Structure 1
Amino acid sequence: MNYTLHQLQVFLKVTQTKSITKAAEELYLTQPAVSIQLRNLQDQFDIPLTEVVGRQLYVTDFGKEIAEAAEAILNEVQAINHKTLAYKGQLSGRLKISSVSTGKYVMPFFLSGFLHEHPGIELSLDVTNKSKVVESLAQNKVDFTLVSVLPEGLDIKSTPLMKNSLYLVGHDKPKKKNYTKSFMGEVPLIYREKGSATRAAMENFVDGNRIAASKRVELTSNEAVKQAVIAGLGYSIMPLIGIKNELSNNDLHLYPMKGLPIETTWNLVWLKSKRFSPAAEAYLDYITKEKTDIMAQHFSWFENY
């Protein structure tokens, strides 16, 4: 057999996501590239690793065993790399973070300086909805999570990073200086999927003000909601952090309304009982010292709204 580490890495990601498309996204590869690596690995085994039923990809029992072996091999390779760097006196290891989907507009700016200072550290950043982020935290699968609403029922510690403001957003330029809440009952409203913190904030505002929505649309990502609003399909309550360029280009507009914006805070969260690796310990120290400067450098535009 002559399989490569890259093939094992691709196969492991496919087994974790149950999707070639999602594996390609997380590995920053094209779908054809993932398919080729998967096929090249499969060619070395007489027993199928995966199978497709309908349009759903399934991992066979044999494939699951190979995936477990692949994960063990890749972990050992990473350990070798980390030991080599440690021997050279460099900070090394893997930093694992999960972030709610709109946190993708925030988290990279709080990571880039740290990773430039410590090139030996590997980053694993999983961007998903809030329910999955909280699940990964509860199961101790990550060092830190980024959320705008602190999870309940967990013994946690946190440090605030910056505020998160959510506004009513539409495609057309507002014709009034102030809109009443009844306006939201007269237009189509576009929601994020269940499990999203943005969805929960929007539902709380709509339900709390007894707004009877005339039409509801549900989409599965902040980007999809944004494009739907730009296309004129409806209105949505969205985080300001994710629409800077669209506001500047006049593709989107903020609709003034009493009770808005909804204000929350982006928090870096970890389990109180978490035993930090040297990489995680160094990152928390970095955030404590540098977060104010990072906000001033990258998010001063926030104060203009």
Structure 2
Amino acid sequence: MYYTLHQLQIFLKISELQSITRASEELHLTQPAVSIQLKNFQDQFPIPLTEVVGRQLFITDFGKEIARAAEKIINQVEEINYKTMAYQGNLSGRLKISVVSTGKYVMPYFMADFMTENKGVDLIMDVTNKSKVVRSLELNEVDFALVSVLPEKLKVDTVELMPNKLFYVSNYDRKFPKAVSKKYLFEKIPLIYREPGSATRNAMESFIEKNNYSVHKKIELTSNEAVKQAVISGLGCSIMPLIGNKNALKNNELKIIPVRGLPITTTWNLIWLKSKNLSPVAVAFLNYLKDRKEGIIQKKFSWIEDFINV
């Protein structure tokens, strides 16, 4: 057998996604190139690695075994590279972070210079909802997680990054009565929610319940970006984190409606398990945050002050 590391990487990605198209997108390769490499790899085995049922590609049981072996080989090769760089005096290794979906507007700014300064560090960042973020932390699948609400059942250490403020937001052209009431905002206008499990949704529902509102028309979408586009289109209003709406607010696509009791304020926290044995890369990143956090906030997020007193 003469399979290459490149073929192992391609097959592992296909097995993860069960799609040649999606694998080619994530690997930044053309679909024909991925298909050819898959065929060349499969031809070296007497047992099929994949099968197509209808138009869906599936990994066979034997293929799953090969994928697991491929993952081990790739990890060992990466470990060799990390050890080589460490021997040369360079920080090296892999940093895994799970981020709640709105956190994608926050975490990259706290990572950029660290990654630039440490060429030997690889970053894996998974962006998903709060429930999955907490689950990945609980299973020790990641080094850190970024959340706006601390998990109740896990013992974690934390670094506070910055405030997270949620406002009632409308599209810019929506007309409101001169003396608009909270009852009107929450009971007469369709309200757009995030999916169950989202910290933004939980905060929104708690506010509504606390004020005894009866929402008559509810729209549910599965990402902050989808909610933003729905509000801009005039589909309804929502309580949304300020952090993801900078351009829409400055471009007069969205506007904040002042509501007593809002904004809801939480804090972006980088968290990790107290029992976690942090890698040298993870420790270096925490030290980096300690030294650079305030400067990053001032440089990248000072625009938030323009809306704090709305």
Both structures adopt the same fold (TM-score exceeding 0.5): yes
Match of 1:185 among 184, 187, 190: 187
Counterparts of 1:235 and 1:28, CA distance in 2: 38
Counterparts of 1:101 and 1:34, CA distance in 2: 32
Q: In the alignment, what sits opposite 1:194?
A: 196
Matches within 5 A, 1:1-305: 1-18=1-18, 23=23, 27=26, 29=28, 32=31, 36=35, 38=38, 41-51=41-51, 53=53, 58-173=58-173, 175=176, 179-182=180-183, 183-305=185-307
- Assess if the C-alpha contact under 8 Å between 1:163 and 1:263 holds in 2: yes
- Assess if the C-alpha contact under 8 Å between 2:105 and 2:244 holds in 1: yes
Stretch deviating more after TM superposition (213-222 or 71-80): 213-222
Counterparts of 1:163 and 1:132, CA distance in 2: 22
Counterparts of 1:297 and 1:97, CA distance in 2: 23
TM-score, reference length from structure 2: 0.89
Counterparts of 2:80 and 2:151, CA distance in 1: 36
- Assess if the C-alpha contact under 8 Å between 2:50 and 2:63 holds in 1: yes
Amino acid at match of 1:81: N
Structure 2, unpaired ranges of 5+? none
Question: Kindly tell me: are residues 29 and 61 of structure 1, through their superposed partners in 2, closer, same or farther at Cα, counting changes over 3 Å?
Answer: same
CA deviations on 1:35-74 (whole Å, 9 max, x unpaired) are 5355554454454434455676543211210110111011
Amino acid at match of 1:6: H
Stretch deviating more after TM superposition (129-138 or 59-68): 59-68
Counterparts of 2:245 and 2:29, CA distance in 1: 27
Question: Kindly tell me: are residues 247 and 21 of structure 1, through their superposed partners in 2, closer, same or farther at Cα, counting changes over 3 Å?
Answer: farther
Amino acid at match of 2:232: I
DSSP 3-state at the match of 2:165: strand
- Assess if the C-alpha contact under 8 Å between 1:20 and 1:34 holds in 2: no
Counterparts of 1:250 and 1:159, CA distance in 2: 34
Measured after TM superposition, the shift of residue 176 of structure 1 is 5.8
CA deviations on 1:135-154 (whole Å, 9 max, x unpaired) are 01101111111000001111
Question: Kindly tell me: are residues 206 and 127 of structure 1, through their superposed partners in 2, closer, same or farther at Cα, counting changes over 3 Å?
Answer: same
CA deviations on 1:67-88 (whole Å, 9 max, x unpaired) are 1011101101101110110121
Question: Kindly tell me: are residues 291 and 13 of structure 1, through their superposed partners in 2, closer, same or farther at Cα, counting changes over 3 Å?
Answer: same
Counterparts of 2:33 and 2:155, CA distance in 1: 39
CA deviations on 1:210-229 (whole Å, 9 max, x unpaired) are 22222111111111111111
Amino acid at match of 1:291: K
Question: Kindly tell me: are residues 4 and 185 of structure 1, through their superposed partners in 2, closer, same or farther at Cα, counting changes over 3 Å?
Answer: farther
- Assess if the C-alpha contact under 8 Å between 2:21 and 2:31 holds in 1: no
DSSP 3-state at the match of 2:15: helix
Aligned-residue sequence identity (percent) comes to: 59
Question: Kindly tell me: are residues 279 and 180 of structure 1, through their superposed partners in 2, closer, same or farther at Cα, counting changes over 3 Å?
Answer: same
DSSP 3-state at the match of 2:115: helix
Counterparts of 1:30 and 1:177, CA distance in 2: 56
Counterparts of 1:269 and 1:31, CA distance in 2: 38
Question: Kindly tell me: are residues 117 and 221 of structure 1, through their superposed partners in 2, closer, same or farther at Cα, counting changes over 3 Å?
Answer: same
- Assess if the C-alpha contact under 8 Å between 2:24 and 2:34 holds in 1: no
Stretch deviating more after TM superposition (164-173 or 93-102): 164-173
Structure 1, unpaired ranges of 5+? none
Measured after TM superposition, the shift of residue 134 of structure 1 is 0.2
Measured after TM superposition, the shift of residue 7 of structure 1 is 3.5
Amino acid at match of 2:67: A
Measured after TM superposition, the shift of residue 250 of structure 1 is 0.8
Structure whose CA Rg is larger: 2
Stretch deviating more after TM superposition (221-230 or 176-185): 176-185
Measured after TM superposition, the shift of residue 287 of structure 1 is 0.6
Counterparts of 1:24 and 1:186, CA distance in 2: 46
Measured after TM superposition, the shift of residue 248 of structure 1 is 0.8
Q: What's the C-alpha RMSD, in Å, of the aligned pairs?
A: 2.3
